[in-house]
Copies of this chain bind each other. A is one copy, B any other.
Amino acid sequence: MELWFTEKQTPYLEFSCKVAATLHREKTPYQDLAVIDTFAYGRMLVLDGIVQTTVKDEFIYHEMITHVALNTHPAPREVLIIGGGDGGTLREVVKHPRVERATMVEIDERVIAASREYLPELSVAFDHPKANVVIDDGIKYVAGCRNQYDVIIIDSTDPVGPAQGLFRADFYRNTFEALKEDGLFVAQTESPLFDGELVRRIFSDVRSIFPVARLYITVIPTYPGGLWTFTMGSKRYDPCGIAFEDIPSYETRFYTPAVHRAAFVLPRFVEELLEAR
């Protein structure tokens, strides 16, 4: 028997992987949670039928959502991660020598439990001395913070279901308030090929709230179309004007200072998308 997992990436597009084993499956209070072992991408976390991360390619997403932001801030001591229950972003955040505390707010503790058990490469930092794991609704949590964080990382699922609110202007305004006076945030913000209007709208919202707004791109192999955007809103520091000599070095597999700079070079159609009204 052959077992295949299929994700309906859009109503018109499917991605399928041959499955070696289904390691875990449960219905949590928030979502359908599965960890499967695939031949092409190794172990894979799947929420509501959508691939979140895989052992083979997770380093790209997690390094690119983390280090671009942390290295834009000269002293990212207090970091907040919203979502990111698999632990991959937390692992990257605590790696940074200047981070003192990384608070991760995940709504679904079952994601953390499944990652602890089946994704040791990702969940390795849950018990790190710098880590502070909170089970709570990220939207409410951020609304209750004032002037508290240097960097906030929104490591969310797609804008359907509980994560919808993480893509709205009022959430970005609360994020602004939760940041210190020179703080910045970054969020994964979907595909410019398949969700161009959403990418444009988010960028426009962030630009209306933060003095510095920047979009950068990378490749996420298991996301539809591969080409993926991240949006950064910053109160002071510009990710495109960094003196990399001052940045402490640490081990990465994808990110380098040159990759950081290159990620902000947008293809012409993405530039035009952001300029459209």
Contact = CB atoms under 8 A, between A and B. Distances in A.
Interface stretch (A91-99, A117-125, A150-158, A254-262): A254-262
The interface size bin for chain A is 35 or more
Interface in A220-277: 220-221, 225-227, 252-256, 258-259, 261-262, 265-269, 271
A16 interface: yes
Contacts of A261: 262, 265
A59 B13 CA distance: 20
Contact of A265 (B6, B59, B194, B258): B258
A265 B263 CA distance: 9
A182 interface: no
A18 interface: yes
Contacts of A39: 11-12
Contacts of A4: 14
Nearest to A264: B262
A57 B254 contact: no
A268 B59 CA distance: 11
A38 interface: yes
Interface of A: 4, 6, 10-18, 38-40, 56-57, 59-60, 193-194, 219-221, 225-227, 252-256, 258-259, 261-262, 265-269, 271
